[in-house]
């Protein structure tokens, strides 16, 4: 009995270390939006998700120390990663502060396994400031546009030198000017 007690004490007093991906169960959608004439990427677009009725999808976002409802939207992949430190329930990670190296300078969304809607709406709200006044466009999505971030087949967190996302390909969308 004493041997079992000592073994249990030793087992539970030994720190356990394991590798944990902060994006367990998450998928990424990457959309590359280009000018149909010049082929250049278009910055500063608003890309939001629509449900089957064409209404914008809302979800909870953690901002300024609390949760609030906002439109589900895509953001430009940042130039650098600004997140550091321990991720926990009191300090959740903001995916828009993480640079996904393989997504380059495209629009990204990190989400669960199911798409909340089957379409995205792409809008140019800044007019000619981003190189033209582009027409709005609705694009249908499918599960083939989602790529898992944390599996044995997706080692993106090893970086460009050793990482990969199996089968990854961004969704290309072309916009024309008005």
In the chain (178 residues long), the average pLDDT of successive 10-residue segments reads: 55 48 80 94 93 87 82 88 56 70 90 74 88 91 81 67 73 93
pLDDT at 159: 67
Q: Which two tokens stand for residue 126?
A: 């800044």
Question: For tokens 């910055």, what's the residue?
Answer: 43
Angle of CA points 93, 110, 157, to nearest 5°: 70
pLDDT at 176: 93
Contacts of 90 (CB under 8 A, 6+ apart): none
Query: What values do phi and psi take at 33, rounded to 5?
Result: -105, 125
Q: Which helix (H) or strand (E) holds 2?
A: helix 2-13
Angle of CA points 133, 136, 141, to nearest 5°: 140
Distance, C-alpha 75 to centroid of its chain? 8
pLDDT at 49: 92
Within 10 angstroms of residue 90's Cβ, the number of other Cβ atoms is: 7
Q: Which of 154, 60, 159 lies closest to 111, judged by CA?
A: 60
pLDDT at 24: 75
pLDDT at 18: 45
Distance, C-alpha 53 to centroid of its chain? 24
């Amino acid at each position: 009995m004493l041997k079992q007690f000592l073994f249990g004490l030793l087992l539970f007093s030994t720190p356990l270390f394991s590798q944990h991906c902060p994006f367990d169960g998450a998928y990424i959608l990457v959309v590359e939006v280009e000018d149909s004439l010049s082929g250049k990427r278009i910055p500063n677009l608003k890309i939001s998700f629509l449900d089957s009725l064409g209404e914008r999808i809302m979800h909870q976002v953690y901002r300024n120390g609390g949760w609030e409802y906002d439109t589900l939207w895509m953001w430009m992949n940042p130039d650098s990663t600004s997140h550091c430190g321990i991720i926990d329930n009191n300090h959740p990670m903001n995916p828009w502060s993480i640079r996904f190296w393989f997504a380059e300078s495209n629009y990204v969304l990190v989400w669960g396994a199911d798409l909340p809607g089957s379409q995205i709406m792409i809008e140019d709200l800044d007019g000619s400031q981003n190189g033209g006044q582009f027409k709005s466009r609705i694009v249908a999505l499918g599960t083939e546009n989602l790529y898992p971030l944390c599996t044995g087949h997706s080692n993106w967190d090893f970086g460009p030198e050793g990482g990969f996302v199996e089968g990854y390909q961004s969704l290309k969308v072309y916009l024309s000017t008005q």
